[in-house]
Each structure stands twice: as structure tokens, then as C-alpha cells.
């Protein structure tokens, strides 16, 4: 990174940490999250942190080379246990995708900055709805606030690491719950507002895709790729199409 980019990255990282510290004080959140864990059929575990900060951000130094920002949904069990994003089954699938696509020139664990649409932990993303129901309007509003915060962080990190000559691409996975009425509608609305005032070279580098989970991402890529089309060209075309559908630009 350049000195300017490194300084901007550190500021965004500190902003992320401070924001999660603030949201982490929501009264009763941890108790409700533990209730979700205890009543499910999956592995039992203790909720340590209601909001999970991605400690992989702290591994990055001024010599780090980030080629992509990838946005997932929210921290699950493995993310809760490790303090890192996309380290569960979906993360393993994502890692395998990049390993099988060397033409992209991206090492998933070295060159990708990973964010989420919210740092609020649930065993499964769909359980965010149940968490909101259990916590009522106040908690629902707070979770929506975390989504708006994470949307602003995305743009902050992208600005920090981009220039008109070398814009940093953003892949937002799991677009289905970003639709109207979806779990991540607040994130979508915030993105639309924030990027309306962003430079065009930043807006044009935002791409939306299906989840990596259950190989949805790769299956969709195979299904939509055109004969003779490179992986990168197919990804750009598909990602722009979903972006227009969900975000309108």
C-alpha cells in the first residue's frame, strides 16, 4: 500500500473497531443469541461476543496487497469461535473457488478483505429474523443500524484502497436477502444512498452475486457463462446485472 492508502486503511479499521464496541453494548443481545444456539439441533457452543470483529483486518500491514473486498452476511458459529470472517463451510468453498480460478490472480486468505453486512452473530443468517422478533422493535432498529454502519465501512475501505487508475472491486454475495423486505434491506438502502454520492469509478466496481454456500456462486457462474467467455468477463457481466437489479445502477 502507499503511505496514503495505509493511513486511510488504518483509520477505517479503527472506525470499524470503535463502531463494534459501541454496538456491542446492546442490553440483552447476548442472552437472546445464546437462546438461539441452545434451542437448535446443531453443535452447542457459548456465545462469547454478540458482535464479531474480523481480526484478519489486524493481520494486514503496509506491505499487504488487497485485490478485492468481499462482503458476506453475518458471523456464524465458526466466525464466533475464531473471530474471523468466512472461515466456516462457505469460506472453505470460497477459498476453493479462487484456488480453482488462478486467472483471477487472487489468494483468498492473502488478497481479500472480508466484511459482512452486519457483525451481529446468529447460528444461521436466517435466524436474524428470529432474533429481531425476540428482541422487538428496539433490537430490530439496532440491527438495522449495524447494517447501515457496515455499508458505510465498505465505502470507507474501498475509498482507502482505490484510485481512479486502480479501483478496488467489491463483491457482495448473497443478494437475495438484500431485496425489499429481506433481512438486509437496510444495508441495501444505505448502499444506494452512500454510493449515489461516490465517484463513478467506485460505483462501477461494485458487483453482486449469489452465496458461496452450497456452491450457489459457482453453479450460477457456470449456468450463466457464455461460450468462450473468460471467468473474469463472466463475473463482471453477472455481477453488474445483479447490481442493477438490486441497487439500481
In the predicted structure, residue 40 carries a pLDDT above the cut 90: no
Task: Dump pLDDT digits (tens) for 233-242.
Answer: 999 999 999 9
Of the candidate ranges 7-16, 22-31, 223-232, the one whose mean pLDDT is the lowest: 22-31
Neighbours of 88 (CB within 10 A): 19
Domain boundaries 3-247, CATH class:
alpha beta
Average pLDDT over residues 225-237: 98
Long-range contacts of 57-64 (CB under 8 A, 24+ apart): 57/13, 57/16, 57/113, 58/13, 60/9, 60/13, 60/113, 62/1, 62/3, 62/6, 63/1, 64/1
Model confidence at 22, pLDDT cuts 50, 70, 90, reads: confident
Q: Where are the domains of the chain?
A: 3-247
Residue 183 backbone zone (phi > 0: left; psi -120 to 50: alpha; other: beta): alpha
In the predicted structure, residue 41 carries a pLDDT above the cut 90: no
pLDDT of amino acid 188: 98
pLDDT of amino acid 176: 95
In the predicted structure, residue 215 carries a pLDDT above the cut 90: yes
Query: What average pLDDT is seen over the chain?
Result: 96
pLDDT of amino acid 25: 80
Average pLDDT over residues 77-94: 96
Place of cell 438495522: 144
Residue 199: all three cell numbers together? 465517484
Neighbours of 2 (CB within 10 A): 10
pLDDT of amino acid 166: 95
Task: Dump pLDDT digits (tens) for 166-206.
Answer: 999 999 999 999 999 999 999 999 999 999 999 999 999 99
Among candidate residues 163, 173, 147, the one with its CA nearest the CA of residue 69? 173
In the predicted structure, residue 248 carries a pLDDT above the cut 90: yes
Strand residues in 78-174 grouped as ranges (E) = 112-116, 170-173
> What percent of the chain has pLDDT above 90?
95
Residues 182/218, Cβ–Cβ less than 8 Å: no
Amino acid at each position: 500500500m502507499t503511505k496514503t492508502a495505509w493511513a486511510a486503511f488504518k483509520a477505517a479499521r479503527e472506525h470499524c473497531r470503535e463502531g463494534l464496541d459501541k454496538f456491542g453494548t446492546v442490553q440483552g443481545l447476548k442472552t437472546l443469541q445464546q437462546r438461539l444456539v441452545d434451542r437448535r439441533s446443531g453443535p452447542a457452543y457459548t456465545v462469547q461476543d454478540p458482535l464479531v470483529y474480523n481480526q484478519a483486518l489486524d493481520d494486514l500491514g503496509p506491505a499487504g496487497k488487497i485485490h478485492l473486498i468481499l462482503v458476506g452476511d453475518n458471523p456464524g458459529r465458526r466466525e464466533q469461535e475464531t473471530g474471523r470472517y468466512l472461515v466456516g463451510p462457505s469460506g472453505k468453498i470460497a477459498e476453493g473457488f479462487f484456488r480453482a480460478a488462478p486467472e483471477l490472480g487472487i489468494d483468498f486468505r492473502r488478497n481479500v478483505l472480508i466484511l459482512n453486512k452486519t457483525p451481529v452473530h446468529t447460528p444461521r443468517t436466517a435466524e436474524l429474523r428470529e432474533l429481531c422478533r425476540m428482541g422487538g422493535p428496539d433490537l430490530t432498529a439496532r440491527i438495522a443500524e449495524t447494517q447501515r454502519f457496515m455499508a458505510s465501512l465498505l465505502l470507507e475501505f474501498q475509498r482507502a484502497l482505490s484510485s481512479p487508475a486502480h479501483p478496488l472491486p467489491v463483491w457482495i454475495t448473497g443478494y437475495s436477502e438484500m431485496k425489499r423486505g429481506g433481512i438486509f434491506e437496510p444495508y441495501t438502502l444505505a448502499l444506494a444512498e452512500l454510493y449515489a454520492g461516490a465517484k463513478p469509478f467506485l460505483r462501477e466496481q461494485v458487483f453482486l452475486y449469489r452465496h458461496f454456500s452450497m456452491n450457489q456462486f459457482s453453479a450460477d457462474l457456470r449456468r450463466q457463462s457464455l461460450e468462450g467467455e473468460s471467468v473474469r468477463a463472466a463475473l463482471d457481466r453477472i455481477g453488474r446485472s445483479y447490481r442493477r437489479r438490486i441497487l439500481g445502477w
